[in-house]
Amino acid sequence: MALDSAALAWFRRDLRAFDHAALHAALRAHGAVHCAFVFDTEILDPLPARADRRVDFIWHSIAELQGSLAALGGGLHVLHGRAREEIPRLAARLGVAAVYANRDYEPQALERDREVADKLAAAGIAFYTRKDQVVFELDEVLSGAGTPYSVFTPYKNAWLKKLDDFFVKPYPIEKHADRLARSGNELPSLRQLGFAPAAMALPAGASGGQRLFADFKRRIADYAKKRDFPALKGPSYLSVHLRFGTISIRELARFAWKRKGAGAATWLSELVWRDFYFAVLAARPDVVDHAFKPEFDAVRWDDDDALWRAWCEGRTGYPLVDAAMRCLNQTGTMHNRLRMVSASFLVKDLGIDWRRGERYFAEKLNGYDLAANNGGWQWAASTGCDAQPWFRVFNPVTQSRKFDPQGKFIRKYLPELAHFDDQAIHEPRAPVVDHAVARQRTLARYAAMRQ
């Protein structure tokens, strides 16, 4: 592209004005770069609540992004409508030669981008995408046979072998910032978008992500020891920032890779899992609605609505499961160990289809990410790639005693149990199912499928 042409940088899951692959590419190739974000009604309209923490987070992040671009000499067009219509319309009005965006790997997003690309092409406008939300894309880490991995450990080994400074270097924006166009408009209020402020605001924007990351850097040495205990401050708490790109995956991976010690190595492994699930989704988009292992689509679920509601509302009678679900409902977060325990309980104690649980998490989690959430649920249900064996069933009481030994997490979210001692607090009370009986039913359910 000639430097006398203009471009449009379309922000989506990358709400930051630094280390931004698509914006960097546009700035290097064009003399003027406009920026845009769309509050996409295709995503927003189906949301069940008008006071949605994620929308609140996005709004505050966009407000900060607008300020960051302004400080660099640019502006931001903030649109409200269907992105597949708004972006081609804006590109035509601005007279740009190309639109740049960072790649999204979800099936719905890919379909949207194909339509946008077609509309832009009809108007003589190019559409370019860049890798930004992962360290490695599908075709960058393949098996020796040239096929996608379906088992994590060999994928991780290949991922780590391929990693070098090139893949985690930042994309500088400041050195080309004089090419940012000042065009833009005022940010509409949340109410103008049809939403209300969330009751519990999250630390939003790039500044919020950096504050959390700075705090985690001081704690990362203990990550391997603390990460499985929900009452401890072990995780990074960066999931929502990774989801909306208010922090760069390259910055996180670079830090973890360069840092020595078990904590950093364990956390880097979690970032590799993230890439792995993105690769699985890109290679097998059918996993959104089907088991990765097709034979497991034959599992016959009970799908008892009363048991489903008990799980959703934290009324199963198993303290750790109920505390986990009440935490999710109240805060939009759930500790990774508790995700495994609560998912296993829904599928293997209550006999309910994993897809219902995945969709419930999609509705509730602040940092919901389709690839990782789907992968985690299929792992728990034994239907996915590299999943736990179908005959392995978590015992919720054993998990409770092991990972919340003093009942601190349980007491926080089930205050009605606070008076029980550290031993008694883990025991089921009026449980909706007997775990031993439920386990036998699960073994029979999967065995029948295999036959």
pLDDT digits (tens, 9 = 90+) for 292-302: 999 999 999 99
- Tokens (6 digits) for 252: 């996180």
- Among 115, 270, 363, 427, the active-site one is 270
- The answer to whether residue 289 is domain-embedded is no
Same domain, 158 and 65: no
Q: Summarize the chain as % helix, strand, coil (round to 5).
A: 55, 5, 40
Predicted pLDDT at 2:
63
- The answer to whether residue 195 is domain-embedded is no
- The answer to whether residue 185 is domain-embedded is no
Same domain, 84 and 146: no
Residue 336 is a catalytic residue: yes
pTM (two decimals): 0.95
Count the neighbouring beta carbons within 10 Å of the beta carbon of residue 220: 21
Residue 301 is a catalytic residue: yes
Residues 162-187 have a mean pLDDT of 96
Same domain, 438 and 407: yes
Residues 104-122 have a mean pLDDT of 97
- The answer to whether residue 442 is domain-embedded is yes
- Among 159, 267, 311, 377, the active-site one is 377
Same domain, 353 and 219: no
Percent of the chain residues topping a pLDDT of 90: 94
Same domain, 346 and 232: no
Q: What is the four-CA torsion angle of 140, 141, 147, 152, rounded to 10 degrees? A: -150
Q: How many domains does the chain have?
A: 3
- The answer to whether residue 229 is domain-embedded is yes
Under DSSP, the state recorded for 274 is H
Residue 270 is a catalytic residue: yes
- Among 273, 308, 311, 379, the active-site one is 273
Same domain, 276 and 151: yes
pLDDT class for 49, splitting at 50, 70, 90?
Answer: confident
Same domain, 18 and 122: yes
Same domain, 69 and 152: no
Predicted pLDDT at 187:
97
pLDDT class for 372, splitting at 50, 70, 90?
Answer: very high
Residue 311 is a catalytic residue: no
Predicted pLDDT at 449:
83
Residues 423-427 have a mean pLDDT of 97
- Among 267, 308, 311, 354, the active-site one is 354
Q: Residue 6 and residue 393: Cα distance in Å, rounded?
A: 57
Same domain, 422 and 304: yes
Q: Report the CATH number that the domain containing residue 323 is assigned in CATH.
A: 1.10.579.10
pLDDT class for 427, splitting at 50, 70, 90?
Answer: very high
Domain boundary among 239, 258, 283: 283
- Among 42, 115, 336, 427, the active-site one is 336
Q: Report the CATH number that the domain containing residue 220 is assigned in CATH.
A: 1.25.40.80
Domain boundary among 257, 283, 309: 283
Same domain, 79 and 165: no
Predicted pLDDT at 198:
87
Cβ contact 112:85 at 8 Å:
no
- The answer to whether residue 182 is domain-embedded is no
Predicted pLDDT at 58:
97
Strand segments (E) across 83-190: 98-102, 126-130
- Among 85, 140, 251, 301, the active-site one is 301
Q: Residue 194 and residue 205: Cα distance in Å, rounded?
A: 21
For residue 231, count CB atoms less than 10 angstroms from its CB and return exposed for 0-12, middle for 13-18, buried for 19 or more.
middle
Q: Residue 242 and residue 246: Cα distance in Å, rounded?
A: 7
Cα 322 off chain centre by? 23
Q: Could you list the residue range(s) of the whole structural domain that residue 372 is in?
A: 294-450
Predicted pLDDT at 4:
80
Q: Report the CATH number that the domain containing residue 96 is assigned in CATH.
A: 3.40.50.620
Cβ contact 202:366 at 8 Å:
yes
Strand partners, 99: 8, 127
- The answer to whether residue 191 is domain-embedded is no
Mind listing the pLDDT tens digit for each residue in 214-256?
Answer: 999 999 999 999 999 999 999 999 999 999 999 999 999 999 9
Same domain, 320 and 440: yes
- The answer to whether residue 257 is domain-embedded is yes
Q: Residue 422 and residue 401: Cα distance in Å, rounded?
A: 9
Same domain, 217 and 247: yes
